[in-house]
Amino acid sequence: MDWERERILLEAFLIVCVGVMLGLSFNFQAVFHAFDLERNAPPPLTSPSEAFPLPADLATTRSLLDEGALAVDARLPEDFAAGHVPQARSLPWADVEAALPAFLNEVPRSRPLLLYCSGFGCSDSFDLGQRLIREGYQTVYVFEDGFPAWEAAGLSISREAQ
Amino acid sequence: MSRAAKIIYHVARVVLGLTFLYAGLIKSEDVTTFAGQVANYKILPYSWNFVVAASVPYVEMIAGFLLLINRRVRPAALVCIGMLVVFMILLGSVILRGLDIDCGCFKPGGQGTSAWVAMGRDAGLLLLSGLVYALRGRFH
């Protein structure tokens, strides 16, 4: 009987191990990307759990925007001008030191922010998210699939330059 | 085992297997979105949400598949019991902390399911898992 229990426990453990290994193998890129972002991020000034922006999917992104979150485009100004999420504000990570003071003056710290850049290959929105959290913004999300996913979903795009 | 008990066992096994297989399949299609839902629980560090989101659907799929094909049923049911207990503890923490989030139980980014509804559903599935585990033991 004890041997039977041990066998069941061992097989259950194996099911979990095989599942984890398969999952990590099939999704290696996404997991590696997440660790890479965290590893290369500047050291947090607050506690680690508060220093990272929350990932948001497309549905969450849309619902956050509907609820009044401010979309923040972390891409270069020329990319922003070529097309961006409607009502989004440009805050290019590449030029953050110059653009940030005006942003901090105009956007209240309590306003939820939804950051995006060019999708999976782009870490600018994540880096910007960390910076904005350190500047005191309380609710910061990153739309990780970025503008390409917004565009691919057929959602409306504004093209006028800010 | 009586005929009625056998029918209950097979129905519970198939329902549980299909539920876990479906839950795993639908979540494995969009791991990033699921990672966002895991992150909404505000328990793990950033990148570990992706590890969980990458792994859990495959564990669910394997357990569900084994239940469906009626092989390694007790280990698979035990995995389901373990996962459901963890899910229910997490949902309990969501309720206690007053978080208003989607449980992330099935389709990532789908219609939101409150923690209370998810807790009730998990309790039902836990009952089914226990039933499958116990009845399977009476076969052998």
The string of DSSP letters for A94-157 reads GGHHHHHHHHHHHS-TTS-EEEE-SSTT--HHHHHHHHHHHTT-S-EEEETTHHHHHHHTT---
Set of chain B residues whose Cβ sits within 8 Å of the Cβ of A145: 32
User: What percent of chain A lies above the pLDDT cut of 90?
Assistant: 33
d(CA A118, CA A156): 16
Across the strands, what pairs with A55? A142
Q: Which CATH class is domain A42-162?
A: alpha beta
Instruction: Kindly give the pairing relationship between strand A140-143 and strand A89-90.
Output: unpaired
How many domains would you assign to chain B? 1
Nearest-CA residue of chain B relative to A23?
B55
pLDDT score of A48: 46
Handedness of CA A29, A32, A38, A39 (dihedral sign): negative
Hey, are the CB atoms on B32 and A55 less than 8 Å from each other? yes
User: What percent of chain B lies above the pLDDT cut of 70?
Assistant: 94
Which residues form the domain of B127? 3-139
pLDDT per residue as tens digits for the range B97-140: 887 787 888 876 666 678 889 999 999 999 999 999 999 877 65
pLDDT score of B121: 93
Active site residue A117: yes
Across the strands, what pairs with A72? A89, A115
| ipTM for this model | 0.90
Lowest mean pLDDT among A123-127, B10-14, B16-20: A123-127
- Nearest chain A Cα distance for residue B6, angstroms: 21
pLDDT score of B128: 95
Q: Which of B50, B103, B132 has the most A C-beta neighbours within 10 Å, making it the best mutation to test the interface with A?
A: B50
pTM of the model: 0.66
Lowest mean pLDDT among A21-25, A75-79, A120-124, A138-142: A120-124
Average pLDDT, chain A: 85
pLDDT score of A45: 46
pLDDT per residue as tens digits for the range A43-99: 544 444 456 888 888 888 888 888 889 999 999 988 999 999 998 999 999 888 888
Distance of CA B81 to the CA centre of its chain: 8
